Amino acid sequence: MEHGTTGPAWVAALEASGLGEAMRGSLLLFPAANVVHVLAVLLLVGPIVALDLRLLGLARQLDAAGLDRYLTRFAYVALPVIAVTGFAMFSADATALAGNAAFRIKLILVSLGLANAIAFRLLWRRRLEMWDAAPPPLGRVQAGGSILLWLSAVAGGRLIAYL
List the pLDDT tens digit at each of the 163 positions of the chain: 444 456 789 999 999 999 999 999 999 999 999 999 999 999 999 999 999 999 998 988 899 999 999 999 999 999 999 999 999 999 999 999 999 999 999 999 999 999 999 999 999 888 888 888 888 899 999 999 999 999 999 999 999 999 8
What gap in Å lies between CA 132 and CA 27, rounded to an integer?
A: 50
CA-closest candidate to residue 120, choices 82, 149, 99: 149
Cβ count within 10 A of residue 73: 10
pTM over 0.85? The answer is: yes
